[in-house]
Amino acid sequence: MTVDLPPNPLAEGLETTRTAPPGVLVVVGASGDLTARKLLPALEQLCRRRLLPHAFAVIGVARTALDDDGFRQLMTSAVPDAAPGWSEIVKHSRYVAGDYVDNETFIRLKGTLSEVEADIGSPGNRTFYLATVPSVFEEVADGLGAAGLNQPVHDDASVRLVIEKPFGRDLDSARGLDAALHRTFAERQIYRIDHYLGKETVQNVLALRFANAIFEPLWNRSYIDHVQITVAESLGVEKRGGFYETAGALRDIVQNHVMQVLSLTLMEPPGSIDAQGIRDEKVKALRSVVIPTLDQVRTDVVRAQYDSGWSEGAAVPAYRQEPDVDPSSQTETYVAMKLEVDNWRWAGVPIYIRTGKRLPKRLTEVALQFQKVPHLAFAADESRDLRPNTLVLRIQPDEGVALRFGAKVPGQAFNVRDVLMDMSYGSAFLEEAPEAYERLLLDAMVGDPTLFIRSDEVDQAWQIVDPLLEAWASKTVPLAGYAAGTWGPRQADQLIEKDGRQWRTP
């Protein structure tokens, strides 16, 4: 059945054009921590900003024995001091309890969906958000498919499936997960969330590069000597020791967050800032990254684990002494690596990446270090403090852009030294940016996949990371140690110093 809705003339010219269409959000795993801590507050914010439609409700699905009223209570308590419209959403929301392996759960969900849609007047747009552990993604997708919930109720309705990282544990399992999801859902229906992409400042990399004429002409091998990407965390594994033991820094940060930042940094200008334009260019950029051979992994990758030390003024234990961590664990909490890129723009420009826990500060940045001037006309003692120009894109915290360049020191002598021109987004706009989940939830319901990761992006990122995992497994790369509260092991310094370069001190 096709329902052709005539245009709504009263909506013409309203500024909130990116309002979610009427529909239902089904949260699978609704009794879990992610739902209460992130999803419901993000939805309430959307409601507060009037970005949710009149006809909107949430259906929670989980194994926990709850009824409709229990779920409504959960929705209410998750957001104290909610906007007045929230109670209306809560009132229409429902709950389906059941096991994910039991098809009966999804048949009951189908019935509840029909009731809710009739209740609120929704034309059948459905967004399924899998707030579950990744191990049940496949079961849930199959269950939805078996109940026919993977198909829209009519041609103009939408059905979307939102899943969160990790997308597999390696290339094989990622491809297996994709194949399983594609059994029931088409790629265009699948929205893979890496919440990093929902961050305002990650999106700002696109604005900086493609809304300004001054940077792009310099953004290539003719001017840039090398790129450094740093994703540093000052915290240890905290209460996530059990999870971290199965992940490590490579899976937890490099395969997803780092690869996203890397692709946005390296990509060519897209024809248009839309989902296909941006995602095509991101994939092309990742395809240009040279997949490291085992020999290259041996020489260009360092993995390490933090020992005890001092962090932010407190003595902290070694990783192996953290709760739920194997005392002889070989899991890396730090990775440093050099990547090469084979394309016209970046050939010969090494990309140095480092990420770790228990580093001196929490920080994510991309630094583009420019080449030295071809001839320094100043006497050596007048310019000894001068270093090559660097453009730094700070992603978090204190988001902004900084440019380091040389300037004359006032006085009789012609001494030149570095100065930093530092622009902080926080100082330009004190306005609060929307939370990553708020942005991504709205995008998923609106049907804008720009900030979601496409299957081929995930695959390509795993292809780059997979040789490292194999090297880990074969113990080809020894596990180094570093004191908590430092910038990593000595081997990481050697990795970059052998190329005549140094890590930045952010």
Partner 1 sequence: MADAVAVDTWDARGVRLGDVVNALADLRHQASEHNTARTAVMTLIAVAPGDEDAYSATTALRSLGGHHPARILILRPDPDQVAALDARTTLYAVRADGHQINFEEVTLCVSGQAANHLDSLVEAFTLSDLPVVVWYVNSVPDPGDPLLSVASAVLLDSRDAGGRLRNLLELARRRTVVDLSWIRLAPWRELLAGLFDPAECRAWLDGVTGVEVQGKTGPRTLLGGWLTSQLGLRPDQVALNDGKHVELRVSCRHGGETATFDVQRGERERTVAAQATLPSGPAHHQSISLADDPLPTALAVALTRLRPDVTWEKALSSATNLTV
Q: In three state form, how does the secondary structure of 33-93 look?
A: HHHHHHHHHHHHHHHHCCCCCCCEEEEEEECCCCCHHHHHHHHHHHCCCCCHHHHHHHHHC
Which residues is 339 bridged to in the sheet? 351
Reply yes or no: is the peptide bond before residue 397 cis, omega within 30 of 0. Answer: yes
Residues 158 and 167: their CA atoms lie apart, in Å, by 23
Q: Name the residue type at position 22.
A: P
Q: Which residues contact 355 (CB under 8 A, 6 or more apart)?
A: 230, 231, 232, 249, 253, 254, 258, 334, 335
Smallest separation (angstroms) from partner 1 to the CB of 8 = 5
CB-nearer residue toward partner 1: 314 or 430? 430
Do 216 and 266 contact (CB within 8 A), yes or no? no
CB-nearer residue toward partner 1: 53 or 481? 53
Smallest separation (angstroms) from partner 1 to the CB of 430 = 3
CB-nearer residue toward partner 1: 6 or 313? 6
Which residues is 191 bridged to in the sheet? 162
Residues 389 and 208: their CA atoms lie apart, in Å, by 17
Residues 310 and 484: their CA atoms lie apart, in Å, by 6
CB-nearer residue toward partner 1: 120 or 297? 120
CB-nearer residue toward partner 1: 42 or 301? 42
CB-nearer residue toward partner 1: 121 or 271? 121
- Is 257 marked active-site? yes
Q: Among all chains, which residue has been given the structure tokens 């949260």? A: 27
CB-nearer residue toward partner 1: 11 or 473? 11
Which of these, 342, 406, 336, 347, lies nearest to 224 by C-alpha position? 347
Smallest separation (angstroms) from partner 1 to the CB of 15 = 7
Smallest separation (angstroms) from partner 1 to the CB of 351 = 31
Looking at 182, 195, 226, 257, which residue is catalytic?
257
Residues 55 and 259: their CA atoms lie apart, in Å, by 38
DSSP H or E run through 334: strand 334-339
Smallest separation (angstroms) from partner 1 to the CB of 83 = 6
Smallest separation (angstroms) from partner 1 to the CB of 5 = 5
Interface residues with partner 1 (CB under 8 A)?
3, 5-6, 8-16, 21-22, 48, 50, 53-55, 83-85, 88, 120-123, 424, 426-431
Residues 229 and 337: their CA atoms lie apart, in Å, by 10
What is the CA 433 to chain-centroid distance, rounded?
16
Smallest separation (angstroms) from partner 1 to the CB of 118 = 10
DSSP H or E run through 112: helix 103-120
Which of these, 187, 114, 118, 183, lies nearest to 144 by C-alpha position? 183
Active site residues: 257
